[in-house]
Structure 1
Amino acid sequence: MLRLHRVEPSAALWSDRAGYPDRLIFHTPEWISFVAQCQGAEPVLATVTDGDTPAGHFTGLITKKYGLRILGSPMAGWTTSYVGFNLDPAVPRRAALEALLPFAFNELGCAHLEIRDRFLAESELGGLGLVWDTAPTAVIDLTPSEDELFGAMASACRRNIRKAAKSGVVIEEVHGDPAFADEFYDQLRDVFAKQNLVPTYSVERVRSLIRHLEPAGRILQLRARDPEHRSIATAILPWYHRTMYFWGGASYREHQHLRPNEALIWHALRWARERGVTEFDFVGGNAYKAKYGTTEVPVPWARRSRSPLVARLRDAAKQGFALKQRAAARLTGVSRPATPDSAARAG
């Protein structure tokens, strides 16, 4: 029978966790520190044991809402895709999930739990009192040759990549540039403004992400420049072990005819492949991503509350956030036409 035991972080612990084949960047100390800082959350690290035999690890963070302790692995809004478990391949993930429930609600005293584990299937969730949303992501297998990757894209996408090159768009890799976060965020505003919204996080989150990941060499920052050397698009792509992630991208609308977004992604795919990365994860299944030759992978987002009241409070908080975001958009006037200096677009 599996059990979870909370442990304190240590160099030996992080080293052991890094040896599991299912490790992701979201399990690393740099990422956990990033989330803890931005969310004011308390990291929770636990070992999974089968009797006296080590079987894996669990990663999460505790935050508070309405005075209640909530365990997220992760929570929505953390700009973190999957967390969950690192397990020995022989250990069933459902058994680990079953052991997580008493750990979360009894040992940690939490009133609500959310988990999105990259390798947990919907078929493993039944009978545990969980509810879940189907939340697929779009991925690209990077093991084929560069020519095969390019050929798998939609013809219009290939044309756009060629057009960017012919138009003189240059992609540069950014290192140690303190202005990059603000540059990205300025472009991001209009991504939301197009829908009369404002970004769901502040520029400080972008700065924090870069500050935590760049020293460890776990983030690729890209900038697209036009023939006049103006920055017209940006992308932020964390990577670790076998996977690169599309955390965010934006571009100025007045330069869309140069097709910088496709050029950024194509550069990232080749960069990752050259470094032995075998998967590119778009972190979500939006329709526009299919043009890059993606495959959809289901990754359910499961949750359980101690009581129906807590579940209703969670849903109310989610709805309230959406209303607050739209109200903020009206107050900041993002529904007005954007100026050439501030207009941006993602994807």
Structure 2
Amino acid sequence: MAARRGIIRQEGLFIEPPGEIFMLRLHRAEPTAALWADRATYDDRLIFHTEPWLRFVAESQRAEPVLATVTDGPRPVGHFTGLLTRRYGLRILGSPMAGWTTSYLGFNLDPGVPRRAALEALVPFAFGELGCAHLELRDRGLTEPDLAGLGLRWAAAPTAVIDLTPDEDALFGAMTGACRRNIRKAAKSSVVVAEADPADDTFAGEFHEQLRDVFAKQNLVPTYSIERVRALIRNLAPGGRLLLLRARDGEGRCIATAVLPWYHRTMYFWGGASWREHQHLRPNEALIWHALRWAKQRGVAEFDFVGGNAYKAKYGTTEVPVPWARRSRSPLVAGLRDAAKEGFALKQRAVARLARVSR
């Protein structure tokens, strides 16, 4: 598919003269050691593109990883990452899908290769070669102008990030005054944050029980089971790319936990939880402050909350737009996708009501 760099589309070309013409195609690739090694050389690589992470998602979602090489004529210029699954008997390519507790799959591309051109090449690959009925994509490098005119629907899905390159005093100073006071309060209240050993089988249970308490505050239940937490630890911990944190009160009780994968230049907030009765001690702020310093000391340049939420702004975050795009083979498939999403929400609320009744 021919493309020029730029965002103006005319007769199948992206025009920004004088620009290089790209003829991009996707070719499904076997997951060899050489392929993983090549993927690890791209500057836009994320932990979500790695072999351990894809093992985790494939295991927890009963999905099949799809790796593809992006070529410009005979020349390899990047990679695509996704997973195949089935819903209602239909093949679906998620890169990723909502509810997978993963984020930002999509592409790794050479500098100067336009993501819009790669996305345009993905559509025939997904619906033609793979025979899919539905495609979803969230790529950290995509912008809304990249998506226009390709028959895609998308929703704004910003994430909140913190630049870790300033010194610790500057990072602390960028937080709101209330957040800084809460961090100091946690220290004065004898809250201590420490790393948990991934081999400690009790951590997943502590985290998930606290998560249940967090959701119960909203009359909901967690969207995933303890087995997903265990699967994440089992697949990520051996490579040393997973920070597990506990916050304990002055009596040594675990009152909050956090799960933080990290890789290359970014640490991610996969999950955090705390007991409501101990939140006045401010363990959540203490956990985040510990994680920021831990990551910075290891040369990590960015902390990504993997989603936007008003409460995250107190840490001095910057909002980065990352649209979530999707395309279906037919309106019927699109309707099934929307119905499944609403059905999941209804099921979650019903399970929460039953849990309250059984207490």
TM-score category (smaller protein):
over 0.9
User: In the alignment, does 2:155 pair up with 1:133?
Assistant: yes
What is aligned with 2:212?
189
Alignment length (residue pairs): 336
Alpha-carbon contact 1:94-1:124 (below 8 Å) kept: yes
User: In the alignment, does 2:277 pair up with 1:257?
Assistant: no
The counterpart of 1:158, out of the listed 166, 170, 180, is 180
What is aligned with 1:180?
203
Letter in 2 for 1:46: A
Provide the TM-score with structure 2 as the length reference.
0.93
What is aligned with 1:340?
none
* Runs of 5+ consecutive residues of structure 2 not aligned to the other structure: 1-22
Task: Quote the RMSD (CA, aligned, Å).
Answer: 0.9
**Any idea what the Cα deviations from partners look like across 1:296-328, whole Å, max 9, x if unmatched?**
000000000000000000000000000011111
Provide the TM-score with structure 1 as the length reference.
0.96
Alpha-carbon contact 1:27-1:83 (below 8 Å) kept: yes
The counterpart of 1:316, out of the listed 311, 330, 339, is 339
What is aligned with 2:60?
38
Alpha-carbon contact 1:196-1:335 (below 8 Å) kept: no
Letter in 1 for 2:292: L
Alpha-carbon contact 1:251-1:260 (below 8 Å) kept: yes
CA offset at residue 335 of structure 1?
Answer: 9.5
Alpha-carbon contact 1:194-1:335 (below 8 Å) kept: no
What is aligned with 1:344?
none
CA offset at residue 150 of structure 1?
Answer: 0.1
In structure 2, C-alpha distance between the alignment counterparts of 1:254 and 1:321, rounded to whole Å: 29
Letter in 2 for 1:134: A
The counterpart of 1:247, out of the listed 240, 252, 270, is 270
Alpha-carbon contact 1:48-1:96 (below 8 Å) kept: yes
CA offset at residue 178 of structure 1?
Answer: 1.1
Alpha-carbon contact 1:193-1:334 (below 8 Å) kept: no
User: In the alignment, does 2:204 pair up with 1:204?
Assistant: no
Change (3 A) 1:264 1:333: same
What is aligned with 1:63?
85
Alpha-carbon contact 2:47-2:262 (below 8 Å) kept: yes
Letter in 2 for 1:306: R
**Any idea what the Cα deviations from partners look like across 1:247-303, whole Å, max 9, x if unmatched?**
000111111121100000000000000001000001111100000000000000000
Runs of 4+ in 1 over 6 A off after TM superposition: none
What is aligned with 1:280?
303
What is aligned with 1:73?
95
In structure 2, C-alpha distance between the alignment counterparts of 1:258 and 1:195, rounded to whole Å: 21
What is aligned with 1:289?
312
Change (3 A) 1:71 1:328: same
User: In the alignment, does 2:113 pair up with 1:86?
Assistant: no
**Any idea what the Cα deviations from partners look like across 1:122-157, whole Å, max 9, x if unmatched?**
111011000000000000000000000000000000
The counterpart of 2:146, out of the listed 124, 143, 146, is 124
CA offset at residue 334 of structure 1?
Answer: 7.3
Alpha-carbon contact 1:197-1:334 (below 8 Å) kept: no
Change (3 A) 1:67 1:145: same
Change (3 A) 1:141 1:84: same
Alpha-carbon contact 1:153-1:291 (below 8 Å) kept: yes
Letter in 1 for 2:315: Y
SS at match of 2:179: helix
Letter in 2 for 1:225: R
What is aligned with 1:167?
189
In structure 2, C-alpha distance between the alignment counterparts of 1:76 and 1:182, rounded to whole Å: 24
SS at match of 1:333: helix
Letter in 2 for 1:68: L
* Runs of 5+ consecutive residues of structure 1 not aligned to the other structure: 337-347
SS at match of 2:55: helix
In structure 1, C-alpha distance between the alignment counterparts of 2:348 and 2:274, rounded to whole Å: 22
Query: Higher relative CO (CA 8 A, sep ≥ 6), structure 1 or 2?
Result: 1
The counterpart of 2:322, out of the listed 299, 302, 306, is 299
Alpha-carbon contact 1:44-1:59 (below 8 Å) kept: yes
In structure 2, C-alpha distance between the alignment counterparts of 1:334 and 1:139, rounded to whole Å: 39
CA offset at residue 190 of structure 1?
Answer: 1.2
User: In the alignment, does 2:79 pair up with 1:48?
Assistant: no
